[in-house]
Structure 1
Amino acid sequence: MLLSVMSNRVDGIVREMTSTLLRASRSAVIASARDMSCAIVTGDNELLASAESLPVHIFGSHLQTISMQQLHPDLAEGDAFLHNDPYMGNTHPADHTILIPVFFDGEHMFTVCSKAHQADTGNATPTTYAPYAKDVYEEGGLIFPCVRVQRNFTMVEDIVRMCRRRIRVPDQWYGDFLAAIGSCRVGERRLIEFCKKYGKDKVKTFIKQWLDYSERRATQAIKQLPRATIKHTGAHDPIPGLPQGIPINCTIDIDPDEGQIVIDLRDNIDCVPNGFNVCEACSINNSIAGVMNCLDPDIPRSGGIFRRVKVLLRDGGVIGRTTFPFSASIATTNVGDRLVNLTQSAMAQLGDGYGLAEGGVGMGAGWAVVSGKDFRHNGEPYINQIFVGGNGGPASPTSDGWLTYGIPVAAGLIYRDSIELLEVKHPLHMKSMRIQPGTSAPGKFRGAPGAELIYGPKKDTMTVAIPCDGQEFPPKGVNGGHDSPGARTFKVNLDGSEERLPGVTQIDLVPGEWLRGIDNSGGGYGHPFDRDPDRVLYDVAEKWETIERARDIYGVDVREDKSSQLGFAIDYPATTARRAALMGHAHD
C-alpha cells in the first residue's frame, strides 16, 4: 500500500512540474501545444517517474543526467543546468532541458528534468528543424552541452545574454526559460518535502522497490509473448541525395524464458549529411516506445523497463549514436516516427492479436513552423510551430485508430492548438479544417482518417517550413490491413491554381496565397472482410466512410434508408454474397 501511495506522490510531483511549465511559459509551442515533458531521475541515473510526459522526451532523461554528473563532479544545491546537446544524451537542439540536482541531508537523491521544444533556437533559417543542414555548423542553432545556468540559486547571466542575442524572439525564449527553471524548482521543493515526510532510508527503499516492480511487470508481459526473432524494414520518404529514401532496419529478439526483448538497430546506414540523423536518446526512446505500445499499458514507465528491453546501437549510424558534427536537427520526428512505427508493426508479425499498425507520420502543413513580421505589433518578428495537424492513429488488434493521434513519437499527448488563439497570436488565417471522408486505411479495425487544412497570411509575407514525411511511403497496415493513402501538400496560387510541394520544404506565402495540406491516416489492422458490418454501417452514417468504399473494399452493401435511425441500412444477404464473391476473386 505504501509503495502505491509513494509512487502516486512522485507522479503527482511530475504533474505539478508539468502544470507549472505549461501555465508559466510564453510560446504557443509550449503553452498551447504542450510540446514539453517533465521527469524525475534518481541520483544514480534511473528514470523514476514521468507521469504523462512524451515518450520521445523522457525515455532518455537518464542519459542527460549521466552527462551532468560526468561534466560537473562539483554538483551542489542551488545548481541548474541547460542541456540541449544531442551528442550527450539530449533529443535534438530544439529541446531545451533544465536539469536540477535535488539534495537531501547532503546527498544527491534525485534530478528533476523539464524539457520543452523551443519556438526558436537561433538556427540559420527561421525554424527549429533544419532538415537539409549538412552539419551542426550549417544548422546554426545554439547548443549547450549541460551548461550551468544557476549556481547557489543565482542566475549565470552570461548564458542568458548569449541566448537573448542569438534567438529571434528573446523575450519569448526568456519567459520559457524561466518557466522551465520554475518547474524544476517546484519539483525540487516537493521532493525535499517528500524526503522529510518519509525519511531518507524509506525513500531509498521505495526507489529500489518501485524500479524492481516496474521490471517485474515488464518481465511478466514479455513472458506472455511467443519466442521469436523478427526482422523488419521500412523507410523514410526520398529526400535530395537519397532518392530511395532513408532505409530503416531493426531486429527484435523476444526471449520469454528470460523475460527480455533485445532491439538491434546496428544494421542501418551511416550518418547522412543532413538533419535526419536519429541520436542516441531518440534511437532508444522511439524503439522502446514502439515495443511498449504493444505491451500492458499499466507497466510503470520507469527505468525498470530498460532492464528488460535492451537497445543495441552503433556509433555513426543514421539510427544510433550520431557522430559530431552530423546534424540531428529533426531526430525527434521523421525517421524517429518511422522507428516507433517499425517496432510496433514488427510485433504484429507474432500473429493476430499482437502489435499495431503504423500511425500517421510526417509533420505536414498543420505542424509547420511559421514566421515573419507581425503588422499588428509594429512589425515585430514572430516565429512558432503550429499544432493543428490531423494525422490519424494506427489500428490495433481491438480498436480503430485514434482520430487526434498527432505523430507516433508523441503518443497522442501533444495538445492541438485552438484555431481562435492561433489566429490571435499570429497574423495568419485558418480558412478551413476538415476530416477527409474515405481516407481511413481499411481493416478489421481501421486506421483513423487524415485531415485537410488550408491557411495563409493575413498581411505581409509568411515563411512556412514543413518537414513532412509519409507522402511517398505512407503508413502501412498489418495482418491484412490496408496502407494509408498518404499525405500531400499544395500551394494555392493567387489565381487559384495548385502546385504540389515536396514533403520537406520551405516556402514564402504572400497574402492571397494558401497552403493546403492533407495528412496521413493510420494503417489498418486485419482484413477488411473481417470488419463487423455494423461498424461499416456506422462509419458510413458518420461520414468516415463512403458507400462506394463500404461496398468495394469491405464488401458491405450499405444503402440509404430514411426509416432507419442512422439514415442507412445494411442489406445482409447481399453483403454475404458480395463478401463471398470478393474473397473468391482475391483467392483467384
Structure 2
Amino acid sequence: MTMDAEEVIQERQIDPVTLQVIGGELDTIAQEMGHKLIRSAYSSIIRESEDIGSGILTAEGKQIAEGDFTPMQVGTLIASVEGMFETFEERGQDPDEVINEGDVFIHNHPHYGAAHSPDIAVITPVFYEGEHIAWTATNAHHLDIGAATPGLAVDLEDVYAEGTLFKATKVYDQGERVDEIWNLIEENVRTPRVVLGDLQAQISSCEVGKERFLGLVEEHGYEHILQASEDLMHYGESLMRKEIEKVPDGTYHETGYLDDDGRNRDERLKVDVELTVDGGDLTIDLSGSEDEVMTGYNVPFRGSAEPASYFIVRAILTDTATHDEYIPQNSGTFAPIHVEAREGSLFNPSMPRSAFARINQVDLLGDLILKAFSNAVPEKTAAGSGPHCYFISYSGVDENDEYWVYIEVNESAYGGRPESDGLDAVDALVHNTQNRPVEDIELSHPLRIEHYRLREETAGAGEHRGGHGHERMVKFLSDSTITIEGDGNKYGSWGFDGGKGAPSGELKHIKPDGEEITLPSKVSGYKFESGDKFSIKSISGGGYGDPYDRPEQKVYEDYRDGYITKESAREEYGVVIEDGEVDSEATRRLRNA
C-alpha cells in the first residue's frame, strides 16, 4: 500500500509546513541559478532560447531541486554526476581526494551521462565545515564545441568527431583557474569568446546556488536540510506512485517512424514504446526500437532517453497546474518510472557511436508515450503534438575572417486537448525552448527574416483543433553554411477520438531565379549563397474529438483570423460560411446529413 504524502511526512517526523517552506526555498535557489545564467550568457541559445537547466543535488548525486527551464537539461544532471563518479572509478581516483572545496568540473561526454556533447554541464561541489554536502549544477547548450560542422552535426562517423569532449574535467582546482583547459577550449572551438563567456556564466550561476544553499544550511541547520531533502524525495515518490496507481494496469504499445539517419535517406527508423503499468510502478520499454545507426543520430540512454521519459510522465500525471498540493521535482519523482532500452539500439548506443543529434528522437518518443497514455487515461492526454523540431545552425565567416554561428529551434505545436485547442508554435514537450526575436537575429547576423508566422490551413481539425505550426523565410545576405538536425518531413501529427491529423513539415532552398530545391530534414554543411532564401514549415498539432462537435462560432473565428478558408470550414467542420457570415441553418443540415 503506497503511503500518501502526509503519512510520509509523519513517518519522517518533519513538520509539514517547514518541509514545504524548505522545499520552496530549494526550488527558488535553483530558479535563481537559471535566471543568473540567462542574464549573464553571451549566446542567444542561452540568453533568448533559454536552452538550460539548473539544479541542486546531494553529494551522492540525487536531485533535490530543479529550475523550471528546459526539462531535458535538468534531468540529465543526475546522470552527469553519475558519469563523473564512473570516470573517477575508471581512473582509479578516490572521489574524497579528487573533489575539493573550490573545484569546478565540466562534463559533456554522451557515453557518461551527458544529454549530448553540446550540452556542457558545469558542476560544483558545496562544502560545509570541511564536508562535501551537495552539488550545484547547470547545463547549457553551447554554440560550438569544434564538431565536424559548425554549431550542430549529424553525419558523423563516431563520438570522436563530435568535437571537444570532457569527462569530470576541472576548470578550477581548489579555486585556482586551470589555464591549460581554458586554453584547450579556446583553441578548439569556432566561437571562443562566446563559448568561454557562457561557461563563465554557468560557473557564476553555480556560485550563486552554492552561496544561497549554504545560507539555507546556516538558517535551518545542515542535519535539518539533509533530512528535509530526503523527505521531499520520499514525498515526490509517493505522489508519483499515487498518480500511477490511478492508471489502469496493463501494457500499452505504440510505434512511430523517423525520417532517416541523416545518411541513408530511404531508410526510416522505428521508435517503439511499450508502456506497462503495474500498481505504482510504470515501465517504458524502448527495446523494440531501431538498432543504433552509424551517424550522430543516436540517443544517449541515461542523459536523454531517461530524462525525456521521466518528464513526459510527469507532465501527464503530476502537472503542477492541475494539482493543488506542492509537487517537488526531484529524484524521488523519477523513482517509480523505469526506462529500458537494449544496448546497441537507437536509444542506448554503444561506444564509440556518436550521439550528437538526438532531439527529434526524444520528441517522437515523448509523443508516443503520450499516445500510449491516451489508450488508458484519455482525459489526461492530448492529440498528437508536432513530434519534431528543425534544429538549425547557421554559420559563416565575417569581414574579420572570424566565424559567426547562430543556432535556432524551429517549433511545431501541441495537439488539441480535452478542454481546449492546442497551443500554437511551441516546442515539443521535452525541450520547451523559446524563440529569438527577429530584430535581434537581423542585428547580429547577415540574415533577413522575410516572414515568421503561423502555418495556416494545417492544424488538425477537431472539436478542439491542433495548434498551428509556424513558417519562416530566411534570406541570406552573405554566403553561409547550415546544418539541420531535423525530422518530420515524412510524417505529421495524429488526431485523437475522431480528430484529424496534421501534415508533415517542409524545407526548401529557394534561389534568386525562383528555382526551388526541396531539402531533407537533415543536412550537414549545406551551402547557401548570398541572395538565396530558405523556407521552413513545421508540423502543426493534431485535432482532439469530432470536428463536427466544434462550435460553429469557433470555426468562424478561425476563418476570420485567416487560419482556415471557407472551403475547409465546410469540408472539415461542416460549417457553411457565405458572404463572410455563418449560415447556421445550412450548417445544421450539413452536419446532420
Whole-Å Cα distance in 1 between the matches of residues 385 and 428 of structure 2? 7
User: Following TM superposition, by how much is the alpha carbon of 1:477 offset from its aligned partner in structure 2, in angstroms?
Assistant: 2.2
The answer to whether structure 1 residue 499 and structure 2 residue 517 are counterparts is yes
Tell me the number of residue pairs that the alignment of Structure 1 and Structure 2 aligns.
560
Matches within 5 A, 1:104-253: 104-128=128-152, 130-137=153-160, 139-239=161-261, 240-241=263-264, 243-253=266-276
2:592 is matched with which residue: 577, 580, 588? 580
Identity %: 28
Whole-Å Cα distance in 1 between the matches of residues 371 and 28 of structure 2? 33
1:533/1:350 Cα in 2 relative to 1: closer, same or farther (>3 Å)?
farther
User: Following TM superposition, by how much is the alpha carbon of 1:390 offset from its aligned partner in structure 2, in angstroms?
Assistant: 4.1
Alignment-derived partner of residue 470 in structure 1 = 488
Alignment-derived partner of residue 14 in structure 2 = none
Alignment-derived partner of residue 289 in structure 1 = 311
User: Following TM superposition, by how much is the alpha carbon of 1:170 offset from its aligned partner in structure 2, in angstroms?
Assistant: 0.9
Alignment-derived partner of residue 77 in structure 2 = 61
Whole-Å Cα distance in 2 between the matches of residues 396 and 293 of structure 1? 13
Alignment-derived partner of residue 373 in structure 2 = 347
2:287 is matched with which residue: 253, 266, 271? 266
Asked if the contact 2:417/2:544 (under 8 Å) is kept, the reply is yes
Report Cα offsets for 1:34-74 as digits up to 9, x if no partner.
11111111222222111312111112221111222343412
Which secondary structure state, in structure 2, belongs to the residue aligned with residue 269 of structure 1? coil
User: Following TM superposition, by how much is the alpha carbon of 1:16 offset from its aligned partner in structure 2, in angstroms?
Assistant: 1.4
Report Cα offsets for 1:3-25 as digits up to 9, x if no partner.
22111111111121111111111
Whole-Å Cα distance in 2 between the matches of residues 296 and 354 of structure 1? 10
Q: TM-score, normalised by structure 1?
A: 0.92
Report Cα offsets for 1:221-257 as digits up to 9, x if no partner.
12222222101101111343262411011111112xx
Matched residue type, 1:576: R
Which secondary structure state, in structure 2, belongs to the residue aligned with residue 180 of structure 1? helix
Whole-Å Cα distance in 1 between the matches of residues 439 and 492 of structure 2? 31
RMSD: 1.7
Pick which of 146-155 and 389-398 moved more. Answer: 389-398
Asked if the contact 1:363/1:466 (under 8 Å) is kept, the reply is no
Alignment-derived partner of residue 583 in structure 2 = 571
Q: TM-score, normalised by structure 2?
A: 0.91
Whole-Å Cα distance in 1 between the matches of residues 85 and 143 of structure 2? 28
2:59 is matched with which residue: 30, 39, 43? 43
User: Following TM superposition, by how much is the alpha carbon of 1:339 offset from its aligned partner in structure 2, in angstroms?
Assistant: 0.7
Whole-Å Cα distance in 2 between the matches of residues 390 and 499 of structure 1? 22
Whole-Å Cα distance in 1 between the matches of residues 173 and 542 of structure 2? 50
The answer to whether structure 1 residue 314 and structure 2 residue 332 are counterparts is no
User: Following TM superposition, by how much is the alpha carbon of 1:536 offset from its aligned partner in structure 2, in angstroms?
Assistant: 1.6
Whole-Å Cα distance in 2 between the matches of residues 193 and 71 of structure 1? 31
Matched residue type, 1:151: D
Alignment-derived partner of residue 539 in structure 1 = 558
User: Following TM superposition, by how much is the alpha carbon of 1:363 offset from its aligned partner in structure 2, in angstroms?
Assistant: 3.2
The answer to whether structure 1 residue 10 and structure 2 residue 26 are counterparts is yes
User: Following TM superposition, by how much is the alpha carbon of 1:122 offset from its aligned partner in structure 2, in angstroms?
Assistant: 0.2
User: Following TM superposition, by how much is the alpha carbon of 1:311 offset from its aligned partner in structure 2, in angstroms?
Assistant: 1.1
Asked if the contact 1:352/1:479 (under 8 Å) is kept, the reply is no
The answer to whether structure 1 residue 32 and structure 2 residue 48 are counterparts is yes
Alignment-derived partner of residue 13 in structure 2 = none
Asked if the contact 1:286/1:340 (under 8 Å) is kept, the reply is yes
Whole-Å Cα distance in 2 between the matches of residues 301 and 572 of structure 1? 49
Asked if the contact 1:444/1:531 (under 8 Å) is kept, the reply is yes
Whole-Å Cα distance in 1 between the matches of residues 380 and 546 of structure 2? 15
Whole-Å Cα distance in 1 between the matches of residues 492 and 549 of structure 2? 23
Alignment-derived partner of residue 584 in structure 1 = none
1:202/1:560 Cα in 2 relative to 1: closer, same or farther (>3 Å)?
farther
The answer to whether structure 1 residue 359 and structure 2 residue 407 are counterparts is no
Pick which of 350-359 and 206-215 moved more. Answer: 350-359
User: Following TM superposition, by how much is the alpha carbon of 1:553 offset from its aligned partner in structure 2, in angstroms?
Assistant: 0.9
Whole-Å Cα distance in 1 between the matches of residues 124 and 31 of structure 2? 17
Report Cα offsets for 1:77-123 as digits up to 9, x if no partner.
11111100110111000001101111223332221111110110000
Matched residue type, 1:481: G
Alignment-derived partner of residue 529 in structure 2 = 510
The answer to whether structure 1 residue 427 and structure 2 residue 446 are counterparts is yes
Report Cα offsets for 1:277-320 as digits up to 9, x if no partner.
11112110112222222213024321112221111232221112
Matched residue type, 1:304: G
Which secondary structure state, in structure 1, belongs to the residue aligned with residue 318 of structure 2? coil
Matched residue type, 2:363: D
Alignment-derived partner of residue 102 in structure 1 = 126
Alignment-derived partner of residue 76 in structure 1 = 100
Asked if the contact 2:414/2:423 (under 8 Å) is kept, the reply is yes
Whole-Å Cα distance in 1 between the matches of residues 500 and 129 of structure 2? 59
Asked if the contact 2:451/2:472 (under 8 Å) is kept, the reply is yes
1:36/1:106 Cα in 2 relative to 1: closer, same or farther (>3 Å)?
same
Alignment-derived partner of residue 437 in structure 2 = 418
Whole-Å Cα distance in 2 between the matches of residues 171 and 142 of structure 1? 16
Asked if the contact 2:117/2:162 (under 8 Å) is kept, the reply is no
Asked if the contact 2:492/2:501 (under 8 Å) is kept, the reply is yes
Whole-Å Cα distance in 1 between the matches of residues 132 and 546 of structure 2? 54
User: Following TM superposition, by how much is the alpha carbon of 1:504 offset from its aligned partner in structure 2, in angstroms?
Assistant: 0.9
Alignment-derived partner of residue 546 in structure 2 = 527
Which secondary structure state, in structure 1, belongs to the residue aligned with residue 375 of structure 2? helix
Matched residue type, 1:156: V
Which secondary structure state, in structure 2, belongs to the residue aligned with residue 334 of structure 1? helix
